[in-house]
Structure 1
Amino acid sequence: MSRIGKKPVPVPSGVDAKVDGQTVSAKGPKGQMEFVVNELCLVKMGDDGVEVTPINKSKEARSMWGMSRTMVANIFEGVSTGFVRKLELVGVGYRAQMKGQTLVLALGYSHDVEFNPPEGISITVGKPTEIEISGRDKQVVGEVAAKIRSFRPPEPYKGKGVKYEGEYIFRKEGKKK
């Protein structure tokens, strides 16, 4: 039994949620999103919020149960508060700046790396070494953060590179004489 799937998803205040067959749609201050629940799960609007239940006790239905409930919770959180990922640049001369909608990164290459965010994603640079990625879709925010991190992943000897905020970099000892 899924401990996550058993809990109904509460609808936050300020969010208008509708269940139409297998489609759950939500509209809130950050925009509108919808998710189509897998056909192995039943979804309905209850008193406590949106309830997701498996259609039978098969392994596939049970594995989709918790995931579907989490996806519904993510769209509610996305349209009400949104998601944020923070990145840190570590290294001498590593910096970030915004030029219009384009993120320009100086990462020790002979050229600057330019990145145009997809629609629905906003990138802000507070300090030259901190990048904040925000949006309503958790998956897209994570993909954008991973893409920016892939331009110069942190290396284990000096720890230089682009890393997530709070990420631990396993450090290696250098050569011995």
Structure 2
Amino acid sequence: MSRIGKQPVTVPAGVTLTQTGQEVTVKGSKGELKFTLPDAVSGKLDGAEFTVSPVEGSKTAAAMWGMSRTMVANMIEGVTNGFKKELELRGVGYRAQMKGNTLSMQLGYSHDVDYTPPAGVTIEASKPTLVSVSGIDKQQVGQVAAEIRSFRKPEPYKGKGVRYVGEFVRQKEGKKK
């Protein structure tokens, strides 16, 4: 029994949710998103509430129930407010800047690391050590932020690297004499 899946998703004013078969489309002020419900669950729209229910009592249906409800809720949140992840660059000489649509970063390598975001995701480098990734698709924003972080993950001795704002990196003790 899914505690998350049981809760209905409320559709706020200004957002249009339409369902054709297993495909759910959400339109809002920031854009449009689509999601295809798995075959193990079914969706139902009642006025301003969207409910997801399992088709059969299998483990797969129980797993897909909560996930499907959360995907629809995230789509509604995305087209109304959008999602944003912020990354900070820590280290001597570590900096980022925008060159057109491409993010160019200096991360201690002998070359600059360039990253072009996919369509639907915008990247801003407001400060040389602060990069913000924003968009309407939560999964895509998180994926782009994770790809940027993977260019130079924070190392445990000095803490240098690309990390999420507010992320705690446990520092290890160095060698002792």
Q: TM-score range by the shorter chain?
A: over 0.9
Counterpart CA distance in 2 for 1:30 and 1:48 is 19
Counterpart CA distance in 2 for 1:47 and 1:114 is 47
Alpha-carbon shift at residue 60 of structure 1 (Å): 1.1
Quote the residue 2:56 is aligned against. Answer: 56
Letter in 1 for 2:107: L
Quote the residue 1:153 is aligned against. Answer: 153
Quote the residue 1:35 is aligned against. Answer: 35
Quote the residue 1:71 is aligned against. Answer: 71
Alpha-carbon shift at residue 59 of structure 1 (Å): 1.0
Alpha-carbon shift at residue 12 of structure 1 (Å): 2.2
SS in 2 for 1:144: helix
Q: CA RMSD in A?
A: 0.9
Counterpart CA distance in 2 for 1:113 and 1:92 is 16
| TM, length-normalised to structure 1 | 0.97
Letter in 1 for 2:80: S
Which blocks of at least 5 consecutive residues in structure 1 are unaligned? Answer: none
What stretches of structure 1 move > 6 A for 4+ residues in a row?
A: none
SS in 2 for 1:74: helix
Give the conservation status (yes or no) of the 8 Å contact 2:94–2:105. yes
Identity of aligned residues (%): 59
Count of residues paired in the alignment:
177
| 1:58-77 CA distance string (max 9 Å, x none) | 11111110000001111111
Alpha-carbon shift at residue 48 of structure 1 (Å): 4.5
Quote the residue 2:116 is aligned against. Answer: 116
Counterpart CA distance in 2 for 1:75 and 1:147 is 22
Which blocks of at least 5 consecutive residues in structure 2 are unaligned? Answer: none
Counterpart CA distance in 2 for 1:13 and 1:153 is 41
SS in 2 for 1:19: strand
| TM, length-normalised to structure 2 | 0.97
Counterpart CA distance in 2 for 1:3 and 1:90 is 40
Alpha-carbon shift at residue 159 of structure 1 (Å): 0.2
Counterpart CA distance in 2 for 1:91 and 1:98 is 19
Quote the residue 2:91 is aligned against. Answer: 91
Give the conservation status (yes or no) of the 8 Å contact 1:89–1:95. yes
Quote the residue 2:16 is aligned against. Answer: 16
| 1:103-144 CA distance string (max 9 Å, x none) | 010111111111111111100111111100001111111111
Letter in 2 for 1:13: A
Counterpart CA distance in 2 for 1:12 and 1:113 is 41
Counterpart CA distance in 1 for 2:78 and 2:118 is 16
Counterpart CA distance in 1 for 2:4 and 2:46 is 17
Give the conservation status (yes or no) of the 8 Å contact 1:8–1:48. no
Residues 11-20 or 165-174, more deviating = 11-20
